[in-house]
């Protein structure tokens, strides 16, 4: 459940699970699943909002808010922003923004799932190995 919360994500969720004694594979798997479910809700909501906005009027304020992410999207594409975007914003926000920019919803979902799995696995393994991420 923790991994479904933006900013905790699969990476902190898996590490927290390992630290509190959940078996590594179970901690990583449940963190990934929680994060993916949350991300899917955000993507599908953003997709629905985008479709409604497109039928109505343009949302210029929203575009300015995500200008930095938009530049990264233009430069690195869906895969790059999905894989590296979690260092800047939660996957839920990143995925919703990508869809609002007009990125293909299915590609965003696929790359976000890959990213969530990679980040969750890396942090879960690091936590299991006892590597201190803070120092």
pLDDT digits (tens, 9 = 90+) for 90-121: 888 889 889 988 899 999 999 999 999 999 99
In the chain, the number of structural domains is 1
Task: Answer whether residue 8 is part of any domain.
Answer: yes
User: What is the rounded end-to-end Cα distance, in angstroms, of the chain?
Assistant: 27
Q: How far apart are CA 34 and CA 92, in angstroms?
A: 11
pTM of the model: 0.78
Q: Is residue 135 part of a domain?
A: no
pLDDT, tens only, 29-81: 999 999 999 999 989 998 888 877 777 655 555 556 567 777 888 888 999 98
- Name the least confident of 14-18, 20-24, 55-59, 93-97: 55-59
Alpha-carbon gap, residue 117 to 76, rounded angstroms? 20
Confidence at residue 135, expressed as pLDDT on a 0 to 100 scale:
47
Instruction: State the maximum Cα–Cα separation within the chain, in Å, rounded to a whole number.
Output: 52
What b/e readout covers 47-63, taking b as 16+ CB neighbours within 10 angstroms? beebeeeeeeeeeeeee
Domain that holds residue 76: 2-129
* 92 domain residue, yes or no: yes
Give the residue from 129, 110, 91 showing the smallest Cα distance to 10: 91
* 111 within domain boundaries: yes
Residue 90 located in a structural domain: yes
The answer to whether residue 35 is domain-embedded is: yes
Percent of residues, the chain, with pLDDT higher than 90: 44
R_g over Cα of the chain:
16
Residue 50 lies in a domain: yes
Q: Is 17 exposed, middle or buried (0-12, 13-18, 19+ CB in 10 A)?
A: buried
pLDDT at 69: 75
Question: Does residue 134 lie in a domain region?
Answer: no
Residue 89 falls in which region: left (phi positive, over 0), alpha (psi -120 to 50) or beta? beta
């Amino acid at each position: 459940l923790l991994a479904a919360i933006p900013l905790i994500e699969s990476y902190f969720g898996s590490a927290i699970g390992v630290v509190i004694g959940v078996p590594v594979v179970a901690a990583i798997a449940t963190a990934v699943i929680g994060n993916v479910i949350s991300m899917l809700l955000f993507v599908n909501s953003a997709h629905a909002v985008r479709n409604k906005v497109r039928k109505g009027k343009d949302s210029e304020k929203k575009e300015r808010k995500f200008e930095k992410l938009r530049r990264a999207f233009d430069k690195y594409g869906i895969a790059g922003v999905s894989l590296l975007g979690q260092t800047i914003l939660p996957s839920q926000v990143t995925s919703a923004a990508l869809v609002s920019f007009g990125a293909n919803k299915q590609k965003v979902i696929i790359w976000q799932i890959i990213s969530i799995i990679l980040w969750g696995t890396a942090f879960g393994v690091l936590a299991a190995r006892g590597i201190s991420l803070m120092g």
